[in-house]
């Protein structure tokens, strides 16, 4: 099995290294990840400037490629032909914060996995919660590797990505979940530079969520690893009847 490993936190992030150690037990792993932190990059595609790939080494000497673009660029470059060996699975992460509910539309971690399915390759995005130390990634990495290994025997449905949110202390079990609803508390912070011109930060408190049973938010709040299947169809099917008058 050949796995492409990427993330949105940069090629030297400890979450990526933890995943490498867990995945290389049973698979060949190639790493192409952003050269710099690209958190909240979303599903970005770089079209108006060149992309570069530079060789890099992880802390144990493992080879990697550092990409000047976004996480989705890393996957696109690999699958468009930079890698000459067929890729069986793309794994993205481990993100140091959960990607729950609507977070998936912002997340570079998740959209890297979504980019994979556009090329017909299954993808897994892995996130955990408020990591403070490199050791906090160990348990989530092992759980993610177990899910990846299971997919060698039972592949994902075509076009489906798995978003895994795994407590950093491990999990009391797995739950297949739907997306919950995040509650964001963003605030606009206005400041002035030394020349008196305003500049802006998007600040505010960390988001919470509505923990309805069966959702990803409920699962992690109850100590379970959440497995949420996603696809690229954003159609609001339940709105069709209400909007028939527009035809």
- Report pLDDT digits (tens) over 12-42: 999 999 999 999 999 999 999 999 998 888 8
Q: What sign does the dihedral 161-166-172-178 (CA atoms) show?
A: negative
pTM above 0.75, yes or no: yes
How far apart CA 113 and CA 118 sit, in angstroms, is 9
What are the strands, taking DSSP E only, across 12-104? 28-34, 53-57, 63-67, 89-95
State the DSSP code for 9: S
pLDDT of residue 152: 85
pLDDT of residue 17: 98
Identify the architecture of domain 2-179+210-235 in CATH: 3-Layer(aba) Sandwich (3.40)
Radius of gyration of the chain (CA): 19
User: For residues 90 and 129, is the Cβ–Cβ distance under 8 A?
Assistant: no
pLDDT of residue 86: 97
What tokens were used for 79?
Answer: 């699958």
Regions of the chain with pLDDT less than 50: none
pLDDT of residue 44: 87
Please report, to the nearest 10 degrees, the dihedral formed by the alpha carbons of residues 127, 25, 173, 156 taken in order.
70
User: For residues 108 and 10, is the Cβ–Cβ distance under 8 A?
Assistant: no
Of 139, 147, 112, which Cα lies nearest the Cα of 6? Answer: 112
How far apart CA 75 and CA 80 sit, in angstroms, is 8
pLDDT of residue 169: 86
Domain locations along the chain = 2-179+210-235
């Amino acid at each position: 099995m050949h796995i492409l490993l990427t993330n949105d936190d940069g090629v030297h992030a400890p979450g990526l290294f933890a995943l490498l150690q867990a995945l290389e037990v049973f698979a060949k792993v190639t790493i192409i990840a952003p050269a710099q932190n690209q958190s909240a990059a979303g599903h970005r595609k770089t079209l108006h400037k060149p992309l570069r790939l530079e060789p890099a080494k992880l802390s144990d000497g493992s080879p990697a490629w550092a990409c000047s673009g976004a996480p989705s660029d890393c996957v696109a470059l690999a699958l468009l032909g930079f890698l000459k060996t067929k890729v069986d699975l793309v794994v993205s992460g481990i993100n140091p914060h959960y990607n729950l509910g609507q977070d998936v539309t912002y997340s570079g971690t998740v959209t890297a996995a979504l980019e994979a399915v556009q090329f017909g390759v299954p993808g897994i995005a892995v996130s955990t919660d408020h990591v403070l130390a490199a050791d906090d990634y160990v348990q989530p990495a092992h759980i993610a590797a177990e899910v990846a290994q299971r997919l060698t025997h039972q592949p994902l449905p075509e076009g489906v990505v798995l978003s895994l949110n795994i407590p950093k202390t491990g999990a009391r079990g797995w739950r297949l979940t739907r997306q919950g609803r995040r509650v964001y508390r963003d605030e606009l912070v206005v400041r002035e530079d030394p020349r008196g011109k305003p500049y802006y930060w998007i600040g505010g408190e960390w988001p919470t969520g509505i923990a309805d049973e069966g959702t990803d938010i409920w699962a992690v709040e109850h100590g379970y690893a959440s497995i949420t299947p996603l696809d690229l169809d954003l159609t609001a099917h339940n709105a069709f009847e209400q909007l028939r008058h527009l035809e």
